[in-house]
């Protein structure tokens, strides 16, 4: 945090029933990818519903610095005139991605096979996050990188002058790493194959196909092989960004734990690799109904009706983690209001998010009177029904999802819940507070 930045403590108090229909912001994962792929395409790409949050705006600025013509025409409506695959310019300055690990990692891939030199940096939180998992595999294409010890930002990448195709098996289940490698493969002669052992978000594969890339996805037993033939010209195509299920997770969970609530979340993405939270909460007894299910831009969307429910603790299958990795903090809050024990495993990736989210969630639960056990790869929460004491102050560690999760807790806890800083919520969900207040939530400055 710089001297010019100030903490913004927030407090959430026990609320009356939440009611109403709302549309959550555009999906962050799709927004990042839309900007990058449009910048790599030939021609002008219209993008509607773009998430205009800090993280995504950093990616838009980076694409401008790399030579794409990026213009905002109104709320959520943008156009990008691309530079083409291999057409990025040498940027005149460092690319600063703020708090956005997604934007930084994906852009590293996009520049790795173009012969330019690009320096990446970010805020204090992003400079602590691991990047070796990306720059290591990118070296297989011929790119080189200078980084701080352990592969930390700032990082300077020198794009490969004569890149060659690769076959690489991912060592971590990460859609960001997979996507970076697929973007790098676009400017490589021949066919590159990326193999993942556990299914992760497939937005990149779907969007590459829509932009005209030569991409094939093959199931090989428990593994999936994604192959891209490089030096193909990407064609511009309209992108409609659906509602972000990771943002929808907060009002959805709030409606489940605040008695007599009933809300409708409109136009939410229902990609099967993003609905792990809905599946898990349904298994816990949540009253969630999908209405008006339909296709949009290669993905499934629908309207999600949520009613207050009495939840029961369960054991969440570890193989579900990639489909809901960002939602575990708010799932832990839901588990606190369930009856019985909820066990979550396979969560090592939460240790290297904007914060050590496992440690931050466990500390936040304990500060509010909830018994939990933190393990190296997971968390066990002892549900208290509607006897969650609250009254604690939660350290957010500059992590937007920790802040929003515990503000959600405060709406149903017996005593108010305070988070030490809510300023970073704007990186992913700038409308969070007004949207929640429109439903009847009591969130304000302490």
Q: Do 28-240 and 10-26+242-444 have the same topology in CATH?
A: yes
Closest CA to 358 of 401, 337, 329, 317: 329
Closest CA to 386 of 429, 336, 347: 336
Percentage of the residues of the chain whose pLDDT score is greater than 90? 91
Mean per-residue pLDDT over the chain, rounded: 95
Do 10 and 403 form a contact (C-beta atoms < 8 A)? yes
Supply the DSSP string of 38-75, one letter for each residue.
Answer: HHHSBSEEEEES---SHHHHHHHHHHHHTT-EEEEEET
> Whole-angstrom Cα distance, residue 367 to residue 372?
11
pLDDT value, residue 356: 92
Instruction: Give the burial class of 339: count Cβ atoms within 10 A of its Cβ; 0-12 exposed, 13-18 middle, 19 or more buried.
Output: middle
Helix (H, G, I), strand (E, B) or coil at 20: strand
Helix (H, G, I), strand (E, B) or coil at 177: helix
Put residue 201 in one of left, alpha, beta given phi > 0 → left and psi -120 to 50 → alpha.
beta
pLDDT of 441 strictly over 90: yes
Give mean pLDDT, residues 322-348.
Answer: 95
* pLDDT band, very low/low/confident/very high, at 1 (cuts 50, 70, 90): very low
* Domain 28-240: which CATH number of 3.40.50.300, 3.30.230.80, 3.65.10.10, 3.20.20.140: 3.65.10.10
Give mean pLDDT, residues 377-398.
Answer: 96
| Length in residues, the chain | 446
Please check whether the domain covering 10-26+242-444 is classified as CATH 3.20.20.70.
no
> Whole-angstrom Cα distance, residue 130 to residue 101?
9
pTM as predicted: 0.86
pLDDT value, residue 297: 63
Instruction: Give the burial class of 446: count Cβ atoms within 10 A of its Cβ; 0-12 exposed, 13-18 middle, 19 or more buried.
Output: exposed
pLDDT value, residue 61: 98
Instruction: Write the pLDDT tens digit of every residue in 135-185.
Output: 999 999 999 999 998 899 999 999 999 999 999 999 988 999 999 999 999
Every domain of the chain and the residues it spans: 10-26+242-444, 28-240
326 is catalytic: yes
**Bridging pattern class, strands 117-121 and 152-158:** antiparallel
The residue annotated as part of the active site, out of 299, 326, 399, 421, is: 326
* pLDDT band, very low/low/confident/very high, at 2 (cuts 50, 70, 90): very low
């Amino acid at each position: 945090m710089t001297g010019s930045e100030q903490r913004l403590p927030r407090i959430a108090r026990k609320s009356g029933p939440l009611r109403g229909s709302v549309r959550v912001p555009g999906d962050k994962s799709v927004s990042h990818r839309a900007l990058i792929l449009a910048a790599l395409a030939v021609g002008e790409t219209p993008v509607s519903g773009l998430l205009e949050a800090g993280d995504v705006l950093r990616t838009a600025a980076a694409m401008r610095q790399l030579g794409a013509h990026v213009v905002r025409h109104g709320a959520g409506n943008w156009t990008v005139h691309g530079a083409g695959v291999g057409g990025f310019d040498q940027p005149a300055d460092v690319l600063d991605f703020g708090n956005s690990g997604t934007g930084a990692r994906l852009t590293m891939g996009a520049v790795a096979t173009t012969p330019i030199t690009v320096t990446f940096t970010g805020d204090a939180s992003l400079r602590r996050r691991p990047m070796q998992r990306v720059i290591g595999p990118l070296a297989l294409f011929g790119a080189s990188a200078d980084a701080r010890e352990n592969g930390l930002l700032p990082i300077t990448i020198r794009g490969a002058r004569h890149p060659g195709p690769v076959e690489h098996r991912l060592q971590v289940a990460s859609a960001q790493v997979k996507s970076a490698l697929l973007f790098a493969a676009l400017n490589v002669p021949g066919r590159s194959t990326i193999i993942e052992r556990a299914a992760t978000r497939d937005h990149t594969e779907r969007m590459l196909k829509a932009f005209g890339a030569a991409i094939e996805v093959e199931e090989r037993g428990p593994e999936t092989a994604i192959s891209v033939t490089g030096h193909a010209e990407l064609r511009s195509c309209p992108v409609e960004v659906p509602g972000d299920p990771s943002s929808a997770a907060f009002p959805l969970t709030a409606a489940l734990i605040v008695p007599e609530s009933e809300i409708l979340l409109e136009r939410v993405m229902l990609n099967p690799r993003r609905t792990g939270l809905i599946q898990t909460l349904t298994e816990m007894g949540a009253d969630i109904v999908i209405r008006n299910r339909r296709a949009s831009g290669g993905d499934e969307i629908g309207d999600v009706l949520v009613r207050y429910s009495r939840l029961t603790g369960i054991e969440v299958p570890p193989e579900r983690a990639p489909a809901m990795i960002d939602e575990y903090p708010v799932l832990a809050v839901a588990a606190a209001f369930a009856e019985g024990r909820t066990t979550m495993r396979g969560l090592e990736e939460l240790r290297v998010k904007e914060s050590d989210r496992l440690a931050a969630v466990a500390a936040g639960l304990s500060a509010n009177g909830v018994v939990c056990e933190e393990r190296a790869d997971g968390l066990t929460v002892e549900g208290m029904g509607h006897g969650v004491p609250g009254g604690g102050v939660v350290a957010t560690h500059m992590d937007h999802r920790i802040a929003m999760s515990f503000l959600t807790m405060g709406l149903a806890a017996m005593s108010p819940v305070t988070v030490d800083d809510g300023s970073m919520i704007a990186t992913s969900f700038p409308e969070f507070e007004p949207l929640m207040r429109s439903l009847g939530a009591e969130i304000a400055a302490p």
